[in-house]
Structure 1
């Protein structure tokens, strides 16, 4: 296995494990959480363009890439809003519960689109194994939400989060789908900068909206600048995954599977950092759910 590719994949795992937890830890609203993730990505994309001397897509390819990035930013701000939800006692839902559900939705939606619209998994056996894997992913996501003691308040909060994450999935799906309609030869490395422009533009517009509509100036709020740290981890992850998924490194399938390991880090770190108490049985069930998501994701990637 390519050790350099493995190193960059490790950067993606660390970055995506830390990002949602740090966003929750630093607090602020969802717009503050997204702002530096988008601008950090733009900075990294610009540096990559200059160092590698990459060309930028033009015409329709450019705008599809920009729209793809903006769609991701739309989805991510909703995802942050979901794990920032609080119950009547002021307890935050947290990334440890929201992220596995979001990951399950993303994998399931990408799989369905690939099979129905792009002709992936042409054989009956591949389709059967693939759809069984999707069911396992959804079961795994459900297990990660397990609580020994349930209340109506907990259930209502989780249902609200699921609703928000379903809407967010529209953005995540467009993020992956729109690049499929660019010209042949427009790979992820060349699309990275225009995608980052779309992300950063959406983040900036959200900041301006918050200022005008809510009289909340995120640009002078110290919490926003704490989120620079979370933005750094996200940008590191985006860059690491982009490099590791290149054909000469690990390739798309292996790079994708390894990136899914981050859901384990995001869930466990979310529980520990946010000091969410879990019983031994809850830890066991959550761990089983995470393993199911990872194994099923591996199956879908190699069909």
Structure 2
């Protein structure tokens, strides 16, 4: 039970993270830099309590992990600006669940029994259906939603590549979760500065909005250590999947707190898709 509760820490913290970002506002570069600074500050604080066993293997793998996160996160933030949190997060979650679960199956060989495959494959089918439901937009809408959704989906595919890479590198490199944080934080900060120039013509890396968004970085950092430790004890397929139940928090938060608009049919399908993604996550959890 303790290991499952550990896996839910990132679910809560990552659930409120995009809501903090969109409430504070700012450019994509502001939000990304603020998150990276928050994560870096947290990792420096950890150094006072935990000294890593330094090696080039640890430094390089963790740094690349941080770069992958920076790419995945800044593209995800960009998708918030294009299609909104309540549309982007269920789609992003579904894509990441599929990507990380496939790594867990074929690379880490985490599914070993027939029932693992029955639950797991059923879960992936349910998740894919949930993503399609969430991405649905009514035809004939002259507000540009169809075009925005297409752009948003493309950006989210890019985000998924970065996010999946960030999640599997520590396990592939067999790294300790606490040891990873500081060199990973350096990679996150450098990646944030570099990738910002692709999304904003004049990135505002150290403006007031960037520093305000450190609050979102703090929420991410707590979830980050949670996922690193959870993946170690639960396995990537289960640990990551349970963490992605953050989709419930951020999707409902986007609709209720951020007041993101939907037609009646779109709203019903969004909620239905959200339920399917969550159900798929629970099914994958049964493979533990």
Conservation of the 8 A alpha-carbon contact between 1:133 and 1:300: yes
Q: How far apart are residue 166 of structure 1 and its match?
A: 0.9
| Worse overlay, 19-28 or 114-123 | 114-123
- Change beyond 3 A, Cα 1:241–1:111: closer
Q: Which residue of 2 aligns with 1:15?
A: 13
Q: How far apart are residue 302 of structure 1 and its match?
A: 3.4
The whole-number CA distance in structure 1 between the counterparts of 2:103 and 2:159 is 16
Query: CA-to-partner distance for each residue in 1:220-251, whole Å, 9 max, x for gaps?
Result: x332233222222222322444456664xx88
Unaligned runs of 5+ in 2: none
Matches within 5 A, 1:1-303: 1-2=1-2, 6=5, 11-51=9-49, 53-85=50-82, 93-147=83-137, 151=141, 153-182=144-173, 184=174, 186-206=175-195, 209=197, 214-219=201-206, 221-242=207-228, 247=233, 256-278=240-262, 282-303=266-287
The whole-number CA distance in structure 2 between the counterparts of 1:254 and 1:129 is 12
Unaligned runs of 5+ in 1: 86-92
Conservation of the 8 A alpha-carbon contact between 2:126 and 2:280: yes
Conservation of the 8 A alpha-carbon contact between 1:96 and 1:268: yes
The whole-number CA distance in structure 1 between the counterparts of 2:263 and 2:277 is 21
- Change beyond 3 A, Cα 1:167–1:282: closer
User: Secondary structure in 2 aligned to 1:231?
Assistant: helix
How big is the alpha-carbon RMSD for the aligned residues of Structure 1 and Structure 2?
3.0
Bigger Cα Rg: 1
The whole-number CA distance in structure 2 between the counterparts of 1:102 and 1:11 is 19
Conservation of the 8 A alpha-carbon contact between 2:122 and 2:283: no
Q: Which residue of 2 aligns with 1:88?
A: none
The whole-number CA distance in structure 1 between the counterparts of 2:216 and 2:158 is 24
- Change beyond 3 A, Cα 1:191–1:215: closer
Q: How far apart are residue 102 of structure 1 and its match?
A: 0.7
Conservation of the 8 A alpha-carbon contact between 1:56 and 1:191: no
The whole-number CA distance in structure 2 between the counterparts of 1:109 and 1:163 is 16
Q: How far apart are residue 20 of structure 1 and its match?
A: 1.1
User: Secondary structure in 2 aligned to 1:214?
Assistant: coil
Q: TM-score, normalised by structure 2?
A: 0.85
The whole-number CA distance in structure 2 between the counterparts of 1:200 and 1:109 is 25
Q: How far apart are residue 139 of structure 1 and its match?
A: 0.9
